[in-house]
A and B are shown apart, each in its own frame.
Chain A
Amino acid sequence: MRNYFAITNRELKSYFVSPIAYVVIALFVLITAIFFYLIISNFVQLSFRYTMQAQYYRMAPPKLNVNSMAIRPLLHNISLFALFWLPLLTMRLFAEEKKSGTIELLFTSPVKTIQMVLAKFTASSILFAVMLVLTFFYIISLFFFGNPELGPILSGYLGLLLIGMSYIAFGLFFSSITDNQIIAAVATFAFILFFWAIGWMSGFVSPGAGAFLEKLSLINHFDDFAKGVIDSGNVIYYLSFTFFGIFLTYISLESKKWRL
């Protein structure tokens, strides 16, 4: 446990001494803020137009739902955007240690491989959670102007955290098989994108295979969260995905110690 905390702590600190983390976080928040602005202003225009129309026809103004019309698309946007962004945070996790040689310190210390892997995973997940919390603030601002439902927002953020952890687990894995950070980032990105895209391919294959691909796809499990539904199947899906990435990382590192 002590090792785990020591490494998590060191990883987090090393994120915050390098300017890269600040840039990645700041741009993440900035870009999601732009999404937010565009989606909300679109929503406001729309509701303004409907209200005018309703007045014209002397009807009661329609109730537009800010949750389904603004927050849900925003959450979807963030989940896709994180796909591009998180590989930048995970690429260094093991690749940098391999390049600089500090891996030799870790692997000759009485630290279990699983402690290292979990510590690095935790550090990146915490960082991602910080990024999400920062975007949370401008969503909260909606409460000053309207009355969105809090439930779907919270479940949506839970979904974001879970999908982000899936990305991070595979980012960790690709970082553990190379000493080149760029390769790690690109491979992570390609892999996750593939798991997004297989959902779209479902229309092109037989119905049975299509249903399977949809089940396997990363996107299809997110929408329920954005709608305010926490379905245990979806939670289990993301946790399994995460577990699998961590497991592969563990195997890839541990296999260096096997006698072949």
Chain B
Amino acid sequence: MIEVKNLTRYFGQKPAIQDITFNVEKGEVLGFLGPNAAGKTTTMRILTCFIPATSGTAKVAGFDVFEQSMDVRKHIGYLPENPPLYLEMTVESYLKFVGKIKGVDSKNMKKQVDKVMDLANIENVRSTIIGKLSKGYRQRVGLAQALVHDPEVLILDEPTAGLDPKQIIDVRKLIKNLGGERTVILSTHILPEASQTCSRIVIINEGRVVAEDSPENLMRRLQGNEKIYVEVAGPEEAVANELQGLDSVASVAREKETNGKIAFIVESIPNRDIRAELAKTIVQKGWGLFEMRPIGMSLEDVFLRLTTKEEEVLYS
């Protein structure tokens, strides 16, 4: 649905993005994750035909953003970083205006406007002047605006900025539901947001893609050595020694004891899945295995590591 190839954009001598390449399949929700000034907005502006790339190509819904910009625009709903609102208009008249310039039929207009006001939960302010709305409400009007012509592709630049926690949860849910029938790219620098709403994440830093994967895989790839949490009913000392004795185990630490079940954190040597081996060993010894799960590193850690100097961790 979206194909981005070697996209580069300079502002003067300074590259804002360099050689960005990624694809988004139909129905996917892609998270565009990166710290400030990473180049998220720049990439999105190129995809929405607002600015041209210096080099590289991008296609949206099969149309080239540079050569066939009018076709691309018809298929995209875009929420810029600052919601593009005419403050002197009422919510409803604004949405109608956007509907008109996005090509919504007059006979469908009322239906569409009502629908997006319902989705964005702004019916109660439909006759309010936008300039009088709070920041969170303005953000929601911006979101409604992006949806009014039922676009196949949605590009949302920091859609939850300015919302309160409950609204954030609502908007994330909404975006997640939009995926499936629509293709969504959303940018954020909030990790939980990306991992909760997106099926895939592209991490970008200083204008370059540093990683691209599902949230789970990203975490797994980052873990040099996997940590496993196991709960065993058995003699503490013996269990610890036995596990430590396995070839692929790097370390064993006793966590806690509850009702005779002892919890251990077992760390593997790099890039080895030791769960099967652990289970086999424990069961063979006749001890009780009550629980076993990998302890993932949070995306927050991934992000910190990615955007500090440790990108190489990902590719080791």
Which residues of A line the B interface, CB within 8 A? 2-3, 6-7, 10, 13-14, 17-18, 100-112, 256-259
Contacts and interface: CB of A to CB of B under 8 A. Distances in A.
A107 B52 contact: no
Contacts of A105: 78, 80, 84, 98, 101, 145
Contacts of A13: 89
A100 B228 CA distance: 52
Nearest to B86: A102
Q: 5 closest pairs, A vs B, by CB?
A: A105-B84, A6-B100, A101-B82, A108-B48, A110-B73
Nearest to A258: B52
B302 interface: no
Given A14-B89, A108-B76, A259-B54, A100 B84 contact: yes
A118 B183 CA distance: 34
B310 interface: no
B53 interface: yes
Given A14-B86, A104-B84, A105-B84, A256 B51 contact: yes
B229 interface: no
Contacts of B66: 259
Contact of A17 (B76, B84, B88): B88
B70 interface: yes
Contact of A101 (B48, B53, B74, B84): B84
A128 B118 CA distance: 40
Contacts of A7: 101
Contacts of B260: none
B84 A10 contact: no
A63 B257 CA distance: 118
A258 B53 CA distance: 9
A10 B97 contact: yes
Given A3-B101, A101-B82, A259-B54, A108 B88 contact: no
Interface in B42-97: 45, 48-54, 66, 69-70, 73-74, 76, 78, 80, 82-89, 97
B102 interface: yes
- Main secondary structure, interface of A, reads helix
B103 A110 contact: yes
Interface of B: 45, 48-54, 66, 69-70, 73-74, 76, 78, 80, 82-89, 97-98, 100-103, 145
B73 A109 contact: yes
19 contacts: A3-B101, A17-B88, A100-B84, A101-B83, A102-B84, A103-B84, A104-B45, A104-B78, A104-B80, A105-B98, A108-B48, A108-B49, A108-B50, A109-B73, A110-B70, A111-B101, A257-B49, A257-B52, A258-B52
B2 to A, nearest CB: 15
A103 B101 CA distance: 13
A48 to B, nearest CB: 51
B50 A107 contact: yes
A92 to B, nearest CB: 11
A3 to B, nearest CB: 5
B54 A110 contact: no
B101 A6 contact: yes
B101 A259 contact: no
Given A100-B87, A105-B80, A259-B66, 17 more contacts: A6-B100, A13-B89, A14-B88, A14-B89, A18-B88, A101-B84, A104-B45, A104-B50, A104-B84, A108-B49, A108-B50, A108-B73, A108-B78, A109-B102, A256-B51, A257-B49, A257-B51
A71 to B, nearest CB: 38
A104 B145 CA distance: 12
A95 to B, nearest CB: 14
Nearest to A102: B84
A60 to B, nearest CB: 61
B124 to A, nearest CB: 22
A102 B70 CA distance: 18
A7 B83 CA distance: 18
A234 B157 CA distance: 51
A3 B100 CA distance: 7
Contacts of A2: 100
A82 B80 CA distance: 38
Contacts of B73: 108-110
A10 B86 contact: yes
A6 B69 CA distance: 21
A6 B45 CA distance: 24
A110 B70 CA distance: 5
A3 B53 CA distance: 27
Contacts of A108: 48-50, 73, 76, 78, 80
Nearest to A9: B97
